[in-house]
Amino acid sequence: MLVIMAAAPGPAGAALGGDGASVSADRQALDGTLTRAQGDGYTVQEISAPAGLVVREYLTPAGRVFAVTWRGPLLPDLKQLLGAYFDQYQQAAREARARHGRQGGLAVRRPDLVVQSSGHMRSFFGEAYLPGMVPPGVRVQALR
């Protein structure tokens, strides 16, 4: 079910691997509030939508999106969030579905892409990151 919902359009944030320039447009599309915070070796930009969806985009010091997390009552548009990596995610999702059926969340672990998505109606959460772009010293487990 999550894989089907992942293909459905919905609000989202800057594309994984891209720059943060689209954050303002994404904030407008979500009719959300944008906040920024500085982490140790990265910047996080959070968009909070009135519907309760929260998308966090983690940017390297050079301004590239190396990770995205989401949580809320609806699943964001993963095609927009994952950008150029969506096709890899979709292929891995098909393979996982063929092996395990449609039960539970979805975890994709590839050398250049990690995506974990789970939840149920009105409570979705997940994360995606590019291992090769994670700034030195940043623990992806701490990004939520």
Query: Cα Rg for the chain, rounded, in angstroms?
Result: 14
> What does the alpha-carbon distance between residue 29 and residue 10 come to, in Å, rounded to a whole number?
10
DSSP conformation letters of 52-66: S-EEEEEE-TTSBEE
Question: Tokens for 108?
Answer: 């994709």
Domain boundaries, the chain: 2-142
Q: pLDDT tens digit string along 121-137?
A: 889 999 999 999 999 99
Question: Tokens for 49?
Answer: 């939508």
> What does the alpha-carbon distance between residue 131 and residue 32 come to, in Å, rounded to a whole number?
28
Q: What is the pTM of this model?
A: 0.83
Q: pLDDT tens digit string along 66-125?
A: 999 999 998 888 888 888 899 999 998 888 778 776 666 788 899 999 999 898 888 999
Measure Cα distances from 48 to 27, 29, 31, 65, 124 in Å: 8, 11, 8, 18, 14
Q: Residue ranges of the alpha helices (H) in the chain? A: 2-7, 23-30, 78-82, 86-100
3 state SS of 105: coil
**pLDDT score of 120:** 84
**Region of residue 78 (left: phi > 0; alpha: psi -120 to 50; beta: else):** alpha
